[in-house]
Amino acid sequence: MLQVAGCRLKVAGCRLQVEGCRYFDSLLVGLTATPRNEINRDTYGIFDLEAGVPTFAYELNNAIADNYLVPPQGIKVPFKFLRQGINYNQLSEAEREEYEEKFRDEETGELPDKVNAAAINKWLFNSNTVDQALELLMEKGLKIEGGDRLGKTIIFARNHSHAEFIVQRFDHNYPHHKGKFAQVIDSHNSYAQSLLDDFSELNKEPTIAVSVDMLDTGVDVPEVVNLVFFKPIYSRVKFNQMIGRGTRLCPELFGVEQDKDKFFIFDLCSNFDYFSQNLKESEPKLPESLTAQIFNARFKLNEAIIKSNNPDYDQLRDSLLDKLHQHVVTMEKDNFLVRRHLKTVEYFSDRTNWNTLNQLPSSSCPGEIETLASLPNGLPKENEGSKRFDLLCLKIQLAILKKSSDFIQLRDKVRDLLDRLEEKQTIPMVKQQLPLIEDVKEETWWSDVTPSQIESLRVRLRDLIKFIDKKEQNIVHTNFEDELGEIVEVDVPIQQTGFSRDQYHKKVKA
């Protein structure tokens, strides 16, 4: 018997495993912790199953009923800022002064009416919100040792800066616990594994692990009795996995013959409300790589040039086709994924076939091109910034030919990039192109600009983009008084699939 574990993670990776397994004469079993109605349809197809109908499903409620796991108790913690954002008009006079100081645009003098909730704990960190959340945890969280000590706790933070801020506020408010009781455990910490090992032992610190993604899955610490959802979650899969961090059995955790029989989930970001709506999740889709986006953009631009019927763009089209051909001809034909589309790859490995691209049947060509875009190739590795500039220029060229309103926004992106590139004029390569950079920043340069001019711009500047410093959102710390609404105990929305073990047994016995 061959097992394919974690087959929900990436459909492409799972397909590769399964196709490889078909060489063996054996039973094939796919295992996944993902609820059956949330697996991409292709995953079922790989195992020759009907979409949405697994062979067997064992659910959380089954495991709780069979005494293999313990149930969660949900606690809704409705902070105003985390739900509604920070509204200038609702602040006190003193808080308005702080708001004006920190959010007024230095160049324009404009002051936003509010800061949206999405910014909270992403780049804006409000001390009072975190302080109240920690106070609630320390007071209401499940305790051990006769109620004298907080049980093991995981706080799921939004990002590394948020995690660090939580620990800073904890150390400030609980100085007698400073340094060890609460610690950040994430990929930024070089001692993360050592800290995780200590967290996994009941009598070692830290007691509170503040994590970003690292403890969402695959961590088995039976002593965990408190989970704090301090970030919004939009994936049912991740939501279920995070709940799973608290479900493990732990005999006599609360004392002699007092086994762990539940755990708390403090939901600060309305996740229970979100997953109680039974929203239909969109089909999982793997993000398209930057290389694939560029390939597809070149193909679309080629189509647009053909439709324009303008001989001035013939040279640009030849250059596009050369690059598309190079993408395909560098593919390793012995590669397993490439081999599955060998006929298409071999056809487009002939440069002359690209010249007649517009003569292919319209119904089949897009699908074949999309396949080629995502296949691995042997092109040399290039700077990501340069490739993103390539894609931006391709989008502008396409917008010009289609007379699209996207042109204005794309143009402004280029001008913003060149503003930042101009700051690097002490670099000889940048200084050499300074006349062009200054011209392109002017409105007149863009008047009646052609795709060929954009191509010339791209060629001359693409290798300079790597010198531009990355634009980062400034971190802002505030101390506005947040409003905590009524704290309510609720049932955690655990999705049931409707799978029937009785029906399964009848089917097996039939």
Of the candidates 347, 381, 415, which is a domain's last residue?
Answer: 381
Contact between 478 and 98 (Cβ < 8 Å): yes
Percent of the chain residues topping a pLDDT of 70: 85
Q: Which of 40-54, 57-71, 481-495 has the lowest mean pLDDT?
A: 40-54
Residue 487 within a domain: no
Q: Within this chain, do residues 305 and 263 fall inside the same structural domain, yes or no?
A: no
CA-closest candidate to residue 52, choices 76, 29, 78, 34: 34
Q: Within this chain, do residues 151 and 212 fall inside the same structural domain, yes or no?
A: yes
Q: How far apart are CA 208 and CA 230, in angstroms?
A: 13
Residue 321 has pLDDT above 60, yes or no: yes
Q: Where are the beta strands (DSSP E) in 302-365?
A: none
Q: Within this chain, do residues 237 and 320 fall inside the same structural domain, yes or no?
A: no
Average pLDDT, the chain: 87
| 258 residue type, one letter | Q
Count of residues in the chain: 510
Q: Residue 63 half-sphere exposure, CB side, CA atoms within 13 Å?
A: 16
Q: Within this chain, do residues 431 and 298 fall inside the same structural domain, yes or no?
A: no
Q: Within this chain, do residues 312 and 449 fall inside the same structural domain, yes or no?
A: no
Q: Within this chain, do residues 195 and 241 fall inside the same structural domain, yes or no?
A: yes
Q: What is the dihedral of CA 307, 313, 319, 321, to 10 degrees?
A: 20
Q: What is the pLDDT of residue 106?
A: 79
| Element (DSSP H or E) covering residue 72 | strand 72-76
Q: Within this chain, do residues 94 and 237 fall inside the same structural domain, yes or no?
A: yes
Q: Within this chain, do residues 217 and 145 fall inside the same structural domain, yes or no?
A: yes
Q: How far apart are CA 182 and CA 391, in angstroms?
A: 44
Q: What is the pLDDT of residue 498?
A: 59
* Number of CB atoms found within 10 A of residue 59's CB: 18
Q: What is the pLDDT of residue 276?
A: 87
**Residue showing tokens 């001008």:** 415
Q: Which of 52-66, 187-201, 287-301, 325-339 has the lowest mean pLDDT?
A: 52-66
Number of domains in the chain: 3
C-alpha pair distances (Å), 385 with each of 83, 346, 382, 415: 35, 31, 9, 15
Q: Residue 387 has what DSSP assignment?
A: H
Q: What is the pLDDT of residues 262-271, one digit of tens each?
A: 999 999 999 9
Exposed/middle/buried for residue 174 (C-beta within 10 Å: 0-12, 13-18, 19+) = middle
Q: What is the pLDDT of residues 89-114, one digit of tens each?
A: 999 999 999 999 999 987 778 899 99
Q: How confident is the model at residue 368 (pLDDT cuts 50, 70, 90)?
A: confident
Q: What is the pLDDT of residue 151?
A: 97
List, in sequence order, the alpha helices (H) in 88-143.
93-103, 127-140
Residue 5 within a domain: no
Which residues have CB under 8 Å from 173's CB, separation 6+? 131, 134, 135
Of the candidates 346, 381, 416, which is a domain's last residue?
Answer: 381
Q: What is the pLDDT of residue 58?
A: 80
The domain that holds 129 is classified in CATH as: 3.40.50.300
Q: How far apart are CA 262 and CA 492, in angstroms?
A: 12
Residue 362 has pLDDT above 50, yes or no: no
Q: How confident is the model at residue 277 (pLDDT cuts 50, 70, 90)?
A: confident
Q: Residue 104 has what DSSP assignment?
A: S
Residue 144 within a domain: yes
Residue 160 within a domain: yes
Residue 488 has pLDDT above 70, yes or no: yes
The structure tokens listed for 272 are 């229970």
Q: Within this chain, do residues 272 and 312 fall inside the same structural domain, yes or no?
A: no
Q: What is the pLDDT of residue 3?
A: 61
CA-closest candidate to residue 10, choices 36, 31, 40: 40
**Residue showing tokens 């002017």:** 442
Q: How confident is the model at residue 363 (pLDDT cuts 50, 70, 90)?
A: very low
Q: What is the pLDDT of residue 202?
A: 92
Residue 323 within a domain: yes
Contact between 116 and 85 (Cβ < 8 Å): yes
Residue 45 within a domain: no
Q: What is the pLDDT of residues 132-174, one digit of tens each?
A: 999 999 999 999 999 999 999 999 999 999 999 999 999 999 9
The more confidently predicted of residues 31 and 445 is: 445
pTM of the full predicted structure? 0.70
Q: How confident is the model at residue 283 (pLDDT cuts 50, 70, 90)?
A: very low
Q: How confident is the model at residue 4 (pLDDT cuts 50, 70, 90)?
A: low
Q: What is the pLDDT of residue 133?
A: 98
Residue 103 within a domain: yes
b/e per residue 469-479 (b: at least 16 CB within 10 A): eeeeeeeeebe
Q: Within this chain, do residues 261 and 122 fall inside the same structural domain, yes or no?
A: yes
Contact between 186 and 158 (Cβ < 8 Å): no
Q: Within this chain, do residues 443 and 339 fall inside the same structural domain, yes or no?
A: no
Contact between 38 and 281 (Cβ < 8 Å): yes
Q: In terms of residue numbers, what domain contains 272?
A: 72-276
Residue 388 within a domain: no
Contact between 114 and 85 (Cβ < 8 Å): yes
Q: What is the pLDDT of residue 340?
A: 86
CA-closest candidate to residue 251, choices 243, 261, 236: 261
Of the candidates 248, 276, 304, which is a domain's last residue?
Answer: 276
Q: Where are the beta strands (DSSP E) in 261-329?
A: 263-267
Q: Within this chain, do residues 247 and 117 fall inside the same structural domain, yes or no?
A: yes
